[in-house]
Amino acid sequence: MGANIKKGDLVQVITGAKQDRGGDRGKQGKVLKVFTATERVLVEGINRVTKHTKAGQTERGTKTGGIEVVEAPIHVSNVAIVDPESKKPTRVGFREEIVEKNGVKKTVRVRYAKASGKAL
């Protein structure tokens, strides 16, 4: 079984609070990492949280720690892949295509956007 969402895909948040209420719904971003065990994805610029790290020092003597803003994982059901043609969220389908390479034909499983039919 193949994965609907992979690292590097452009996705859009389809649930949660609207942007005018401080939420992330409608925002688009690139998938940085996929956590298959917990069914979550890390999306660039989405679900940003403030993280407090303990103060310390590096070998050079510079201070580390403080408050930093990082992305937190979001459940895979709350995002949808963006259609490359219409730039709107779409569902993902799988189809087998015949590819010829060096005179040899073989079938390849391809992900495609259901709205436009374009390969992802």
- Gap between the Cα atoms of 30 and 44, Å rounded: 5
Distance CA 45, CA 27 (A): 9
Task: Going residue by residue through the chain, which has 120 residues, state the pLDDT in tens, using 9 for 90 and above.
Answer: 458 899 999 999 999 899 899 888 999 999 999 999 999 999 999 999 999 988 888 777 777 888 889 999 999 999 999 998 889 999 999 999 888 888 888 888 889 988 888 888
The per-residue pLDDT for 31 is: 94
For residues 51 and 81, give the distance between their C-alpha atoms in angstroms, rounded to a whole number.
28
**What's the predicted TM-score (pTM) here?**
0.78
The reported pLDDT for the residue numbered 2 is 58
